[in-house]
Structure 1
Amino acid sequence: MAVTEQTSHPDGRVELTDPEVIASSRYGNAELAPTRIPERKWTTYNYAALWMGMAHNIPSYLLAAGLVALGMNWLQAFITITLGNLIVLVPLLLNSHAGTKYGIPFPVFARAFYGVRGANFPALLRAFIACGWFGIQTWIGGQAIYTIVGELAGSSWTGASSVGGHPWTMWVSFAFFWVLQMWLIWRGIEGLRRFENWAAPLVTAAFLALMIAILVKAGGLGPILDQPSTLGWDADFWKIFAPSLMGMIAFWATLSLNMPDFTRFGKGQREQVLGQIIGLPTTMSFIALASIITTSGTVLVYGSAIWDPVELTRRFENPVVVTIGLIMAILATMSCNVAANVVSPSYDFANALPRWLNFRTAGLLTGVIGILIQPWRLISDPSIYIFVWLSFYGGLLASVAGVLIAGYWFIDRTNLALADLYLRGGRYWYSDGWNWRAVVATLFGSLLAVGGAYSNPGAGPFPEGGLIPILQPLYDYSWVVGLIAGFITYLALTRFVPARRPVTS
């Protein structure tokens, strides 16, 4: 397929001159096909609101609160989180560019470097991680619903008989929240955009209200900010700073890959770039500050750090305040979960079986897998949830991000043959649909990043000395190691063992 058979518009966006050229391809369907220019209408506000909705969630809150619980003071925790989000913004924006320019989702973008078939490797890796997150968030949302009904119904609800280690009413709450999210995803991507537009400001107001309430109880901001760090600024702090920073980066490592799923609907590069710069670092810094102040305030008010906002909301005596606060928690969880953990795997699963799955049916599959993963077990241990879960998958996905950045910006220089992303035997077919260079780069980067995975005694599934002891020191820097190793390896293999010439505009 020649590049001349795709139309480049003055603003840099590209679309197929004749969309019918890929209509009969077994590697495409209506959701995976390039978005037509008239359908690309997301504005700066839409992207800012999307990030506000995704960032304002209970796990984001727990990240900041967890750093305070580890002994950091408000400034140390704030710097760690803000720096992490500024760092992850770089690969996120680099990979977003292709979505806006070509109107393609992440798994189709990955075909340019992994091959038309090989793209299923990084796409399914990303998808199953998203399913785990979907399950975790759904369980958290179910807990909030369980608590709200308990406030209204009393002990008949909260004291229900136990099934599988939890009250049967908790399972009902979990199922209800699952169905609610499936209904939202069934409405499609435009329904999601409208939901984010009105939900995001409400969630922001809720976190502000919780912070103000604690400030009033604590006697103002001064006593909170005066609390010293138990770590200081010496070796004790720096020992946990690096793995904590990697955890902050890894929290959004998933979105640094699949933001093309959203930027494919952008009106232009300026809109998506500004929207994301406004939305991600500022929103995460805000929620970090709100979480740090609130959690630090609970030490003064209640004598110990209460880092779970659902538990904290329950401490207030007014049932109306409790109910409103928990409803906001539910909105926050749903806003993040559907956008961050359903949209991506929906495209990823549809990419693997385009003739069998579309956006909606693949979203249902995501929901089912999210239950089968048993999220109530994933979050039963905070050490496993925050450090093992985030650090491990962060290293894996970072190596994929390294391949994409090297291929798109340094090998192809942002020029892709759009139709060939969907066709057998085209430029991106490589060897039977697979590009072994990208696969080797990803595996090698992942090995260096997580091969030394270790856990403190009794705090995780890995041996104390690391899976591969010689690589243990690298695990504290898993995301950086994976990104750099994947980038350099793919660049080197492509330069010295070339498979094709880059597309020229």
Structure 2
Amino acid sequence: MKTQIEQNGIVILTKEASDSLEGSGLWNDDLRPTTMKEHSWKGLNFATLWIGMCLCIPAYTMASGLISLGMNWWQAIATIFVGNVIVLIPILLNSHAGTKYGIPYPVFARLWFGSKGAHIPAMARAIVAAGWFGINTWIGTGAIDTLLSASFSFWNFSGHTVIVFALFWILNVAVAYKGPQAMKYLSLIATPVVGISAIILLIWALTNSGGWGPILSTPSQFQTTGEFFKVFFPAVTGVIAFWATLALNIPDFCRYAKSQKSQMVAQSFSLPLTMTIFSFIGIAVTSATVVIFGQALWDPVALLAKFPPFIIFLGTLVIVISSLTINVGANVVAPARAIENLNPRRITFGLGALITGLFAILMQPWFIMENFGNYIFGWLGTYGALLGPIDGIAIADYWLVRKRQMALHELYDVNGRYSYTGGFNKNGVYALIIGVAVPVLGLIIPGLHFLWDNAWTFGLFVSIIAYTYLMKGDQSVLKKGEYEKMTSYKNSVSGNLADTLDGSNPNVNLY
């Protein structure tokens, strides 16, 4: 029996197959595969999504850390560009699966860890995302609170920070509650607003400083190429870790893509170029502040506080939009989906978003930032880097083991092939352990510290090799001809699709 339809590289379930899964414990309206109608995101939507998320305070200040390590401005910019091009590769590879089969990240994880084992990579991604959600909400709160205090003398009343945090938290959760589709419209607003504001800030800096400023003329502190590379490689790993977590759950967004080409082209240009250009703006403006104010102001909030009240007000709105975009897109969608996947019959995405918000509060981000800021940031960065092995397993499974062919119906069948034994794919667990263990050797053996400096990269490649080897001959892999037997091919909306579009074919689910 045909259970799925492939049309122009996108696979959907037949209506009969979809109806048969309605009572499955692995199925609900949020986790089900998208329909053909829901594949509506064009390249513009993916471009604005990434541009909106990249135009944020951490991206603005990213180069400052690299310059403090001894790099000059162009070395810092080159490092940021290289890191983002590298992380773009797993993003695009995992995007393909989300686009082709219309599945979110936790469902994609069932393929390589099993119906129950999928909770391991899903919750691993969720924990770090929830941690960052709380921290970014607190950072946004501090920025808004500082700008309000600079604008209004009455704002320094007792409890003002608590009020700002509560309102900003509610705003984040409210937008997240609407689901990933809300990001589609939020990004369309955020991209031009924040982008134009950044350009205006750059023009102001150049006009008032009479040039680029001293930071752009400061030479590199490295005397040899070897000295540079000792800093470059761990710095690249840090840049990769910035988006390494989203490389895992990018299917949560790409499941709505209209075509593979549109999402691939849009993401390929928007991510590395936006991060690089925005980081350069951060360097250039900061360099100008040395001339204008006599000190380097890397924090855009501290810079805005020096402007008149009306400009501060406009800047506050921009920061709210910027913080909201990256926080919801990068830090709420993944944990909300992971929580929903724990019990799809009882938990919705909206409820998962609310639980994520509450968990972020319980982590007390204000306490973390006040007392253990450097440690926690280091820990979360390290944790993000160690997600490399999960990226590697996902890539190996989809591209090398299954060669992009799967039984979509069985991802939602509790007795299907992707439940493996007892709901766990032991090969995925073993590959994960091996992929994490190899970089950790760099912490134990001094001569192998380069493994830890490049934890994400080594973990990714080691897990690819281990998982591909362990999955040889696995019973869950479709045998030759099986995919064709379960798949009906439709190549256009004319001719053989005429009966589909007028509703006369009950086995097609294109609504």
CA RMSD of aligned residues (A): 2.0
Tell me whether 1:228 sits opposite 2:219 in the alignment: yes
- From 460, 469, 483, the counterpart of 1:483: 460
Counterpart for residue 458 of structure 1:
none
Q: Deviations over 1:83-141 (max 9, x none)?
A: 00000000100000011101100110111111111111000000111101111111111
Counterpart for residue 371 of structure 1:
361
Pairs within 5 Å for 1:91-490 = 91-154=90-153, 156-158=154-156, 160-161=157-158, 168-221=159-212, 223-316=214-307, 318-380=308-370, 383-384=374-375, 387-390=378-381, 392-450=382-440, 452=442, 466=443, 472-490=449-467
SS of 1:371 mapped into structure 2: helix
Q: Verify the 8 A CA contact 1:21 1:419 in the aligned structure 2.
A: no
Counterpart for residue 488 of structure 2:
none
Q: Verify the 8 A CA contact 1:66 1:307 in the aligned structure 2.
A: no
- CA gap 1:224/1:468 in 2 versus in 1, 3 angstroms: closer
Q: Verify the 8 A CA contact 1:13 1:102 in the aligned structure 2.
A: yes
- CA gap 1:280/1:361 in 2 versus in 1, 3 angstroms: same
- CA gap 1:178/1:387 in 2 versus in 1, 3 angstroms: same
TM-score (norm 1): 0.90
Q: Deviations over 1:145-180 (max 9, x none)?
A: 2123212331x433x45xxxxxx3212211110011
Structure 1, unpaired ranges of 5+: 162-167, 453-465
Shift of 1:220: 1.4
TM-score (norm 2): 0.89
What is the CA–CA distance in structure 2 between the aligned matches of 1:187 and 1:378, rounded to whole Å? 29
| More moved, 253-262 vs 213-222 | 213-222
Shift of 1:323: 1.9
Q: Verify the 8 A CA contact 2:435 2:463 in the aligned structure 1.
A: yes
- CA gap 1:70/1:298 in 2 versus in 1, 3 angstroms: farther
Shift of 1:231: 3.3
Q: Verify the 8 A CA contact 2:128 2:380 in the aligned structure 1.
A: no
Counterpart for residue 60 of structure 2:
61
Q: Verify the 8 A CA contact 2:434 2:462 in the aligned structure 1.
A: yes
Q: Verify the 8 A CA contact 1:68 1:292 in the aligned structure 2.
A: no
SS of 2:386 mapped into structure 1: helix
How high is the sequence identity, in percent, across the aligned residues?
41
Shift of 1:419: 0.8
Structure 2, unpaired ranges of 5+: 484-511
Which amino acid letter does the alignment assign opposite residue 207 of structure 1? A
Counterpart for residue 6 of structure 1:
4
Shift of 1:467: 5.7
Q: Deviations over 1:292-311 (max 9, x none)?
A: 21223333444443221111
Counterpart for residue 460 of structure 1:
none
Counterpart for residue 83 of structure 2:
84
Shift of 1:486: 1.1
Q: Verify the 8 A CA contact 2:393 2:467 in the aligned structure 1.
A: yes
Tell me whether 1:502 sits opposite 2:492 in the alignment: no
For these two proteins, the number of residue pairs brought into alignment is: 478
Counterpart for residue 164 of structure 1:
none
Structure with the greater alpha carbon radius of gyration: 2
| More moved, 293-302 vs 346-355 | 293-302
What is the CA–CA distance in structure 1 between the aligned matches of 2:445 and 2:316, rounded to whole Å? 44
Counterpart for residue 49 of structure 2:
50
What is the CA–CA distance in structure 2 between the aligned matches of 1:78 and 1:300, rounded to whole Å? 22
Q: Verify the 8 A CA contact 2:213 2:284 in the aligned structure 1.
A: no
